[in-house]
Amino acid sequence: MVLGNLIIYLENMKTEKYPDGIIIASDLGNHWNCPVVSNCPEAIKLRKILTEAGLTLEDVIKDWKAARAKPPEPIMYKFPDVDAKMHLKVGNQKIEIDMKEELESQIKYAFTDRLERFKNAQREVERLGVDLYSTYLSNIYDIRRSKLLPQMMIPLEELLKYHCMIDQGGKDSYLFIFPFTYNPQWLFYGTKRYKLDPAHIEGLQRNVYAVFTITQERNIIDTKLITSNGGKFRHYHGDKYDCWGQLKLPKRWDNTLKSLSDLVYQMQAALATINRDSLMKSTPPGMIDILVLMDSAKLEGIEDVVNTEEVRIEAPQPEPVRHWGEGGDHA
Protein backbone atom coordinates (compact mmCIF):
# COMPACT_ATOMS: atom_id res chain seq x y z
CA MET A 1 0.00 0.00 0.00
CA VAL A 2 1.42 3.39 -1.01
CA LEU A 3 0.79 6.79 0.55
CA GLY A 4 -1.50 7.96 -2.26
CA ASN A 5 -3.79 4.94 -1.73
CA LEU A 6 -3.82 5.59 2.01
CA ILE A 7 -4.93 9.22 1.65
CA ILE A 8 -7.74 8.28 -0.77
CA TYR A 9 -8.79 5.39 1.49
CA LEU A 10 -8.97 7.65 4.56
CA GLU A 11 -11.02 10.22 2.68
CA ASN A 12 -13.57 7.59 1.61
CA MET A 13 -13.64 5.82 4.98
CA LYS A 14 -16.89 6.46 6.87
CA THR A 15 -16.99 5.75 10.62
CA GLU A 16 -19.08 6.96 13.53
CA LYS A 17 -16.21 9.16 14.66
CA TYR A 18 -15.42 10.37 11.16
CA PRO A 19 -18.72 10.32 9.21
CA ASP A 20 -17.20 12.39 6.39
CA GLY A 21 -13.91 10.54 6.27
CA ILE A 22 -10.49 11.92 7.24
CA ILE A 23 -9.26 14.72 4.99
CA ILE A 24 -5.48 15.05 5.05
CA ALA A 25 -4.17 18.23 3.43
CA SER A 26 -0.71 16.95 2.61
CA ASP A 27 1.18 17.59 -0.60
CA LEU A 28 2.85 14.22 -1.16
CA GLY A 29 4.55 15.31 -4.38
CA ASN A 30 7.17 12.70 -5.26
CA HIS A 31 6.17 10.67 -2.17
CA TRP A 32 2.81 9.57 -3.67
CA ASN A 33 4.11 6.05 -4.42
CA CYS A 34 6.21 5.62 -1.26
CA PRO A 35 5.21 2.51 0.77
CA VAL A 36 3.22 3.25 3.91
CA VAL A 37 5.59 1.08 5.99
CA SER A 38 8.74 2.83 4.74
CA ASN A 39 10.98 5.34 6.53
CA CYS A 40 9.77 8.11 4.22
CA PRO A 41 9.08 11.25 6.37
CA GLU A 42 5.61 11.57 4.82
CA ALA A 43 4.90 7.91 5.68
CA ILE A 44 5.96 8.49 9.28
CA LYS A 45 3.69 11.55 9.45
CA LEU A 46 0.68 9.65 8.10
CA ARG A 47 1.23 6.72 10.46
CA LYS A 48 1.18 9.22 13.33
CA ILE A 49 -2.12 10.64 12.05
CA LEU A 50 -3.57 7.11 11.99
CA THR A 51 -2.55 6.56 15.60
CA GLU A 52 -4.07 9.87 16.68
CA ALA A 53 -7.30 8.92 14.89
CA GLY A 54 -7.48 5.69 16.87
CA LEU A 55 -6.69 3.49 13.87
CA THR A 56 -4.00 0.88 13.39
CA LEU A 57 -2.00 0.52 10.23
CA GLU A 58 -2.60 -3.24 10.23
CA ASP A 59 -6.40 -2.80 10.22
CA VAL A 60 -6.28 -0.14 7.50
CA ILE A 61 -4.14 -2.29 5.21
CA LYS A 62 -6.34 -5.33 5.92
CA ASP A 63 -9.54 -3.44 5.03
CA TRP A 64 -7.92 -1.92 1.96
CA LYS A 65 -6.79 -5.33 0.68
CA ALA A 66 -10.23 -6.83 1.38
CA ALA A 67 -11.89 -4.08 -0.65
CA ARG A 68 -9.49 -4.64 -3.53
CA ALA A 69 -9.96 -8.42 -3.37
CA LYS A 70 -13.67 -8.18 -4.14
CA PRO A 71 -14.17 -9.28 -7.77
CA PRO A 72 -15.86 -6.69 -9.99
CA GLU A 73 -19.47 -7.31 -10.79
CA PRO A 74 -19.65 -9.12 -14.12
CA ILE A 75 -21.25 -7.34 -17.04
CA MET A 76 -24.24 -9.46 -18.04
CA TYR A 77 -25.18 -9.28 -21.64
CA LYS A 78 -27.08 -11.43 -24.10
CA PHE A 79 -26.93 -10.91 -27.80
CA PRO A 80 -30.24 -10.91 -29.64
CA ASP A 81 -31.11 -13.83 -31.80
CA VAL A 82 -30.12 -13.20 -35.37
CA ASP A 83 -31.94 -14.61 -38.37
CA ALA A 84 -29.08 -14.68 -40.80
CA LYS A 85 -30.31 -17.11 -43.38
CA MET A 86 -29.55 -16.16 -46.94
CA HIS A 87 -30.88 -17.71 -50.17
CA LEU A 88 -28.79 -17.75 -53.29
CA LYS A 89 -30.13 -18.76 -56.67
CA VAL A 90 -27.60 -20.54 -58.79
CA GLY A 91 -29.12 -21.41 -62.10
CA ASN A 92 -32.39 -23.13 -61.32
CA GLN A 93 -31.23 -24.08 -57.81
CA LYS A 94 -31.91 -22.16 -54.54
CA ILE A 95 -29.17 -22.54 -51.96
CA GLU A 96 -29.78 -21.59 -48.32
CA ILE A 97 -26.77 -20.26 -46.38
CA ASP A 98 -26.88 -19.63 -42.60
CA MET A 99 -24.67 -16.60 -41.69
CA LYS A 100 -25.66 -16.61 -38.02
CA GLU A 101 -22.22 -17.48 -36.61
CA GLU A 102 -20.46 -14.86 -38.74
CA LEU A 103 -22.90 -12.08 -37.80
CA GLU A 104 -22.83 -12.95 -34.10
CA SER A 105 -19.04 -12.90 -34.22
CA GLN A 106 -19.10 -9.40 -35.75
CA ILE A 107 -21.59 -8.13 -33.17
CA LYS A 108 -19.52 -9.57 -30.31
CA TYR A 109 -16.36 -7.96 -31.66
CA ALA A 110 -18.07 -4.56 -31.98
CA PHE A 111 -19.44 -4.85 -28.44
CA THR A 112 -16.13 -5.82 -26.79
CA ASP A 113 -14.31 -3.11 -28.74
CA ARG A 114 -16.74 -0.47 -27.48
CA LEU A 115 -16.47 -1.86 -23.93
CA GLU A 116 -12.68 -1.65 -24.01
CA ARG A 117 -12.87 1.96 -25.17
CA PHE A 118 -15.17 2.70 -22.25
CA LYS A 119 -12.73 1.08 -19.80
CA ASN A 120 -9.85 3.13 -21.23
CA ALA A 121 -11.91 6.29 -20.82
CA GLN A 122 -12.70 5.30 -17.23
CA ARG A 123 -9.01 4.79 -16.47
CA GLU A 124 -8.22 8.21 -17.93
CA VAL A 125 -10.90 9.82 -15.75
CA GLU A 126 -9.44 8.12 -12.68
CA ARG A 127 -5.97 9.38 -13.58
CA LEU A 128 -7.26 12.92 -14.00
CA GLY A 129 -9.07 12.59 -10.68
CA VAL A 130 -5.85 11.63 -8.90
CA ASP A 131 -4.04 14.58 -10.51
CA LEU A 132 -6.81 16.98 -9.50
CA TYR A 133 -6.81 15.60 -5.95
CA SER A 134 -3.06 16.05 -5.71
CA THR A 135 -3.42 19.64 -6.95
CA TYR A 136 -6.17 20.22 -4.39
CA LEU A 137 -3.93 19.02 -1.55
CA SER A 138 -1.06 21.12 -2.85
CA ASN A 139 -3.25 24.26 -2.90
CA ILE A 140 -4.42 23.65 0.67
CA TYR A 141 -0.81 23.17 1.75
CA ASP A 142 0.20 26.46 0.07
CA ILE A 143 -2.69 28.32 1.71
CA ARG A 144 -1.67 27.04 5.12
CA ARG A 145 1.95 27.99 4.54
CA SER A 146 0.99 31.48 3.34
CA LYS A 147 -0.77 32.42 6.57
CA LEU A 148 0.77 35.39 8.37
CA LEU A 149 2.91 34.65 11.40
CA PRO A 150 1.27 35.46 14.72
CA GLN A 151 2.68 38.62 16.20
CA MET A 152 5.45 38.10 18.74
CA MET A 153 4.33 39.90 21.88
CA ILE A 154 7.14 40.59 24.37
CA PRO A 155 7.01 43.43 26.94
CA LEU A 156 8.94 46.54 25.94
CA GLU A 157 10.99 46.56 29.15
CA GLU A 158 12.27 43.05 28.38
CA LEU A 159 13.26 44.02 24.83
CA LEU A 160 15.12 47.05 26.17
CA LYS A 161 16.78 45.03 28.94
CA TYR A 162 18.31 42.57 26.50
CA HIS A 163 18.71 45.04 23.60
CA CYS A 164 16.73 42.74 21.32
CA MET A 165 14.94 43.49 18.06
CA ILE A 166 12.49 41.09 16.42
CA ASP A 167 11.54 40.81 12.75
CA GLN A 168 9.91 38.27 10.46
CA GLY A 169 12.44 35.96 8.89
CA GLY A 170 10.21 34.02 6.50
CA LYS A 171 6.78 32.45 6.21
CA ASP A 172 7.18 30.57 9.48
CA SER A 173 10.19 32.03 11.30
CA TYR A 174 11.29 35.05 13.31
CA LEU A 175 14.58 36.94 13.47
CA PHE A 176 15.95 37.80 16.93
CA ILE A 177 18.64 40.45 16.56
CA PHE A 178 21.14 41.35 19.32
CA PRO A 179 24.10 43.78 19.35
CA PHE A 180 27.37 41.87 19.12
CA THR A 181 30.86 43.14 19.90
CA TYR A 182 33.60 41.48 17.89
CA ASN A 183 36.71 42.03 20.01
CA PRO A 184 39.62 39.57 19.50
CA GLN A 185 42.16 39.61 22.35
CA TRP A 186 44.35 36.57 21.79
CA LEU A 187 45.91 34.51 19.03
CA PHE A 188 46.44 30.77 19.24
CA TYR A 189 48.91 28.85 17.09
CA GLY A 190 49.95 25.23 17.62
CA THR A 191 50.14 25.02 21.42
CA LYS A 192 51.14 28.67 21.99
CA ARG A 193 48.83 31.43 23.13
CA TYR A 194 49.66 35.05 22.30
CA LYS A 195 48.24 38.35 23.51
CA LEU A 196 47.48 40.68 20.62
CA ASP A 197 49.08 44.10 20.42
CA PRO A 198 46.80 46.73 22.09
CA ALA A 199 46.75 48.79 18.90
CA HIS A 200 45.63 45.75 16.90
CA ILE A 201 42.97 44.90 19.50
CA GLU A 202 41.52 48.36 19.10
CA GLY A 203 41.77 48.19 15.30
CA LEU A 204 39.97 44.85 15.08
CA GLN A 205 36.99 45.71 17.28
CA ARG A 206 33.66 45.86 15.42
CA ASN A 207 30.09 46.50 16.54
CA VAL A 208 27.92 44.11 14.57
CA TYR A 209 24.77 42.04 15.18
CA ALA A 210 24.00 38.42 16.04
CA VAL A 211 20.88 37.11 14.28
CA PHE A 212 19.00 33.98 15.37
CA THR A 213 16.38 32.55 13.00
CA ILE A 214 13.76 30.70 15.07
CA THR A 215 10.63 28.91 13.84
CA GLN A 216 7.19 28.92 15.47
CA GLU A 217 8.09 25.49 16.86
CA ARG A 218 11.06 27.14 18.65
CA ASN A 219 13.71 25.48 16.49
CA ILE A 220 16.86 27.58 15.99
CA ILE A 221 17.56 27.00 12.31
CA ASP A 222 20.28 29.61 11.70
CA THR A 223 22.76 31.75 13.64
CA LYS A 224 24.94 34.34 11.94
CA LEU A 225 26.71 37.67 12.34
CA ILE A 226 25.74 40.63 10.16
CA THR A 227 26.95 44.19 9.71
CA SER A 228 24.86 47.32 10.24
CA ASN A 229 23.87 47.30 6.54
CA GLY A 230 22.54 43.73 6.79
CA GLY A 231 25.43 42.05 4.97
CA LYS A 232 27.30 39.01 6.30
CA PHE A 233 30.07 40.01 8.71
CA ARG A 234 33.36 38.45 7.59
CA HIS A 235 36.13 37.78 10.09
CA TYR A 236 38.97 35.33 10.68
CA HIS A 237 36.54 32.51 11.51
CA GLY A 238 33.56 33.62 9.48
CA ASP A 239 32.80 33.94 5.80
CA LYS A 240 29.53 32.57 4.35
CA TYR A 241 28.97 31.00 7.76
CA ASP A 242 30.61 31.30 11.19
CA CYS A 243 32.75 28.77 13.04
CA TRP A 244 32.31 28.77 16.82
CA GLY A 245 35.06 26.33 17.79
CA GLN A 246 34.16 24.39 20.94
CA LEU A 247 30.95 26.34 21.53
CA LYS A 248 27.90 24.15 21.00
CA LEU A 249 24.99 26.20 19.69
CA PRO A 250 21.57 25.00 20.86
CA LYS A 251 19.00 23.76 18.35
CA ARG A 252 15.97 24.65 20.49
CA TRP A 253 14.87 27.88 22.13
CA ASP A 254 13.34 27.99 25.61
CA ASN A 255 11.16 31.07 24.89
CA THR A 256 13.23 33.50 26.98
CA LEU A 257 15.32 36.41 25.73
CA LYS A 258 17.78 35.82 28.57
CA SER A 259 18.96 32.53 27.10
CA LEU A 260 19.64 34.18 23.74
CA SER A 261 21.41 37.11 25.46
CA ASP A 262 23.57 34.66 27.43
CA LEU A 263 24.38 32.85 24.20
CA VAL A 264 25.52 36.11 22.59
CA TYR A 265 28.07 36.60 25.41
CA GLN A 266 29.33 33.05 24.92
CA MET A 267 29.67 33.65 21.18
CA GLN A 268 31.66 36.82 21.82
CA ALA A 269 33.96 34.87 24.13
CA ALA A 270 34.42 32.16 21.50
CA LEU A 271 35.63 34.71 18.95
CA ALA A 272 37.90 36.53 21.42
CA THR A 273 40.66 34.09 20.42
CA ILE A 274 41.87 33.84 16.82
CA ASN A 275 42.98 30.26 16.13
CA ARG A 276 45.51 30.38 13.33
CA ASP A 277 45.16 26.61 12.84
CA SER A 278 41.54 26.94 11.68
CA LEU A 279 41.25 30.22 9.80
CA MET A 280 38.57 30.90 7.21
CA LYS A 281 40.16 34.20 6.21
CA SER A 282 43.81 35.15 6.78
CA THR A 283 42.97 38.73 5.88
CA PRO A 284 39.26 39.49 6.31
CA PRO A 285 37.93 42.63 4.57
CA GLY A 286 39.13 45.74 6.40
CA MET A 287 41.16 43.76 8.95
CA ILE A 288 44.83 43.09 9.62
CA ASP A 289 46.70 40.20 7.98
CA ILE A 290 47.25 37.28 10.33
CA LEU A 291 51.05 37.39 9.84
CA VAL A 292 51.14 41.04 10.93
CA LEU A 293 49.18 40.12 14.05
CA MET A 294 51.67 37.31 14.77
CA ASP A 295 54.70 39.60 14.41
CA SER A 296 53.57 41.99 17.14
CA ALA A 297 51.74 39.55 19.44
CA LYS A 298 53.27 38.72 22.85
CA LEU A 299 53.67 35.09 23.89
CA GLU A 300 51.68 34.38 27.06
CA GLY A 301 52.25 30.66 27.46
CA ILE A 302 52.21 27.16 26.02
CA GLU A 303 49.30 24.77 26.40
CA ASP A 304 49.51 20.98 26.25
CA VAL A 305 46.20 20.50 24.42
CA VAL A 306 44.63 22.86 21.95
CA ASN A 307 41.27 24.27 23.08
CA THR A 308 40.71 21.85 25.93
CA GLU A 309 38.33 24.17 27.73
CA GLU A 310 34.85 23.68 26.41
CA VAL A 311 32.69 26.76 26.50
CA ARG A 312 29.33 25.96 28.02
CA ILE A 313 26.08 27.86 27.78
CA GLU A 314 24.65 28.80 31.16
CA ALA A 315 21.24 27.39 31.87
CA PRO A 316 18.78 30.30 31.82
CA GLN A 317 17.00 31.24 35.02
CA PRO A 318 13.26 30.55 35.10
CA GLU A 319 11.40 33.41 33.47
CA PRO A 320 7.88 34.02 32.20
CA VAL A 321 7.35 32.07 28.99
CA ARG A 322 6.21 34.09 25.98
CA HIS A 323 3.68 32.54 23.65
CA TRP A 324 3.26 33.20 19.94
CA GLY A 325 0.64 35.86 19.32
CA GLU A 326 0.00 36.60 23.00
CA GLY A 327 0.99 39.55 25.12
CA GLY A 328 1.83 40.02 28.76
CA ASP A 329 3.15 37.48 31.23
CA HIS A 330 2.08 33.84 30.99
CA ALA A 331 2.76 31.10 33.44
Confidence (pLDDT) at 13: 67
Residues 74, 146: Cα–Cα separation, whole Å: 49
Q: Assign 304 a pLDDT band (cuts: 50, 70, 90).
A: low
Sign of the torsion angle spanned by Cα atoms 48, 33, 28, 23: negative
* Structure confidence at residue 21 (pLDDT): 64
Mean pLDDT of the 269-286 span: 92
Confidence of residue 14 (pLDDT cuts 50, 70, 90): low
Distance CA 128, CA 135 (A): 10
Q: pLDDT at position 195, please?
A: 95
pLDDT in tens, 198-224: 999 999 999 999 999 999 888 999 999
Q: What is the DSSP letter of 20?
A: T
Q: Is 26 helix (H, G, I), strand (E, B) or coil?
A: coil
| DSSP classification of residue 129 | H
Q: How far is CA 28 from the centre of its chain?
A: 12
pLDDT tens digits along 148-157: 556 667 888 8
Rounded Cα–Cα distance for residues 10 and 313 (Å): 47
Distance (Å, whole) CA 141 – CA 173? 17
Position 38 scores a pLDDT of 75
pLDDT bucket at 6, cuts 50 / 70 / 90: confident
| pLDDT mean over 245-272 | 93
Q: Which residues of 219-230 are buried (b: 16+ CB within 10 A; e: fewer)?
A: ebeebebbeeee
Mean pLDDT of the chain: 78
The residue count of the chain comes to 331
102-146 pLDDT, tens digit each: 777 777 777 777 778 877 777 777 777 666 666 666 665 555 555
* Global confidence as pTM: 0.50
- 113 vs 178, higher pLDDT: 178
pLDDT at 308: 42
Of the pLDDT bands very low, low, confident and very high (cuts 50, 70, 90), residue 247 is: very high
Read off the pLDDT of each residue in 171-182 and give the average, rounded to a whole number: 91
Does residue 305 register a pLDDT over 60? no
Q: Would strands 273-275 and 186-189 be described as parallel, antiparallel, or unpaired?
A: parallel
Average pLDDT, stretch 277-288?
92
- Nearest residue to 320 (alpha-carbon basis) of 256, 250, 265, 225: 256
Tens-place pLDDT, residues 57-70: 777 777 767 666 65
Q: Which of 68-82, 120-134, 148-162, 167-181 has the highest mean pLDDT?
A: 167-181
The pLDDT, as a whole number, for residue 150 is 63
Residue of higher predicted confidence among 177 and 245: 177
Give the C-alpha separation, 189 to 312, whole Å.
Answer: 23
